[in-house]
Structure 1
Amino acid sequence: MASITDPKMSDRFASAMEEIHNKHLKMYLDITDTTAELSQSHRQFVKTTLDACLKKCKDDEKLFEKIQEFKKDLEQKNKVLKEKQHVISEVMSEVQQKEMQKNNIILNIEKLKEEQTKRKELIKSQNEANKNRLRNLQKARLMFQDHLGLEIRAVMDKTQVVKSKKLQFVFRNISPSDQNDAYVITMGIKEDGSYQIVSSDPVLDCLPVLESRLQETNNLPAFLANVRKEFISKARC
């Protein structure tokens, strides 16, 4: 074992201590460098993470704003849709009313057509009846005018709101005292084509009975013959 008094021993100890110190110093420097690198890397990671978080926050804010805009736009579109649905409902209701009105108009047109057909048939029937009455009048005129001095006059009644044409049958050769003395009966035709006795001069009490018989038989010559008989009977009283 070397003696501590050996002068070289002190140098070796100092050299060994310096070597240990240098190793420790190198280790410390390595740790310091590593710590610095880690610290720098950590700061860079934190900065990168912070930037990413800030960007994410900004993106989220923009996304939230877009969501709010979409919600407002959706609410507005729903409002417009409801208004359009209301308008469509009103239009459909109006269309249904128009359809009902159209159906009513079609029914009314059909009724009018039926009524028109009935009127045409009635007019045709009345025309036929009037033709028959005209033939009867012509027969009566020939019989009474040529043989018994009957005069037939057309009279326009201006006292009514609607002017109507009537016929006057003027009988002569009735009164024994005056053959030219006139006995008059005035007649018209109703809307249904039947005869109507308006008046007689002089007045015949039995005229309603004769008129009723005329309505039943539609025999004008027989009616005029009976009227003439009544006038003769009244003239001789």
Structure 2
Amino acid sequence: MASIKDLDVGEKFSSKLEEIRTKLLSQAMGEMLNEATVEFCQAHKQYMKSVLDTCSKKCREDETMFETIQAYTEELKRQNSIMRERSGERPEILGSIQDKESHKELLIQKIEKLKQEQSKNRELIHSQNKANKDRLKNLNKIKEIFQERLSLEIRKIQGEKLQFIFRNINHKNPQSAYTFLLRINEDGVYQIISCDPPLAQMDHLERRLQETNNLSAFLANVRKEFVALHNPPKTA
């Protein structure tokens, strides 16, 4: 009987030991779980902090990018507005440029025409100067001839004017002067300015001189007219 009781005690003791072992194992597992949980929580916090920092940085970068995009968009709108305004002004600008080009062409044509006219005028002036020199040369020859034969004196007065003085016209007064004033105008044409005493045929003689340019014949005819003043034609 004593041995049976001892067997129950053994079972109880084994059961008690199992209970203690289970309790200790549970405590050990709890402590391990708590430590793992703490480490996990700390690691999770660090991870979440890193994620939050990354997200915050990304958000700031996105905000900066959005602000830049918005600025670019506003600038693009402004440039488009300027382009539209300039597009509206373009026809006027092109029209102004075309008008200036047309005006420039007209000016060039006028300048060329003036150059041609100037060249012609230079040639004409040169030709007239040469003709006048030839006339003056002839006048000098005529002067010598008429001074010797017809008692003619020629004086240069006021530039291009010449005074012709005839003497020995009036036999009663040989030194009495009979004069006329002649000039050569810009076109190289002979013109009688005055005559003393007046001759009725002077206008006719002037036209003949302009037609023929024969000054010698003109002077001879003028002298005849002066002589005729003192020797009128006899009537029948």
TM-score with structure 2 length normalisation? Answer: 0.67
Identity %: 37
Q: Does structure 1 residue 184 correspond to structure 2 residue 183? A: no
Shift of 1:50: 1.5
After superposition, give the CA deviation of every residue in 1:172-217 in whole Å (9 maximum; x if it has no partner).
Answer: 2223432221111111121222222221112234333322222221
After superposition, give the CA deviation of every residue in 1:96-125 in whole Å (9 maximum; x if it has no partner).
Answer: x8xx97x967984x6665455434422331
Residue matched to 2:199: 204
Paired with 1:52 and 1:143, the residues of 2 have a C-alpha distance of: 132
Residue matched to 2:209: 214
Specify the code of the residue in structure 2 equivalent to 1:154. K
Unaligned runs of 5+ in 2: 87-95
Paired with 2:8 and 2:201, the residues of 1 have a C-alpha distance of: 188
Paired with 2:157 and 2:204, the residues of 1 have a C-alpha distance of: 24
* Alpha carbons of structure 1 residues 34 and 117: separation in structure 2 relative to 1, 3 Å: same
After superposition, give the CA deviation of every residue in 1:138-187 in whole Å (9 maximum; x if it has no partner).
Answer: 3422332211111101112xxxxxxx331100112223432221111111
Q: Does structure 1 residue 48 correspond to structure 2 residue 47? A: yes
Residue matched to 1:20: 19
* Alpha carbons of structure 1 residues 50 and 209: separation in structure 2 relative to 1, 3 Å: farther
> Alignment partner for residue 221 of structure 2, among 221, 226, 229?
226
SS of the residue aligned with 1:175? coil
Question: How many residues are treated as equivalent by the alignment?
Answer: 209
Q: Does structure 1 residue 122 correspond to structure 2 residue 124? A: yes
Q: Is the 8 A contact 1:139 1:221 kept in 2?
A: no
Q: CA RMSD in A?
A: 4.1
> Where in structure 2 are the equivalents of 1:1-237 lying within 5 Å?
6-58=5-57, 60-61=59-60, 64-65=63-64, 108=111, 114-156=116-158, 164-236=159-231
SS of the residue aligned with 1:178? coil
* Alpha carbons of structure 1 residues 31 and 146: separation in structure 2 relative to 1, 3 Å: same
Specify the code of the residue in structure 1 equivalent to 2:185. K
* Alpha carbons of structure 1 residues 49 and 206: separation in structure 2 relative to 1, 3 Å: farther
Q: Is the 8 A contact 1:168 1:186 kept in 2?
A: yes
SS of the residue aligned with 1:177? coil
After superposition, give the CA deviation of every residue in 1:75-106 in whole Å (9 maximum; x if it has no partner).
Answer: 6xx99xx9xxx9xxxxxx99xx8xx97x9679
Shift of 1:29: 3.1
TM-score with structure 1 length normalisation? Answer: 0.67
Unaligned runs of 5+ in 1: 87-92, 157-163
Paired with 2:63 and 2:230, the residues of 1 have a C-alpha distance of: 121
Higher relative contact order (CA 8 A, sep 6+): 1
* Alpha carbons of structure 1 residues 27 and 116: separation in structure 2 relative to 1, 3 Å: same
* Alpha carbons of structure 1 residues 38 and 204: separation in structure 2 relative to 1, 3 Å: farther
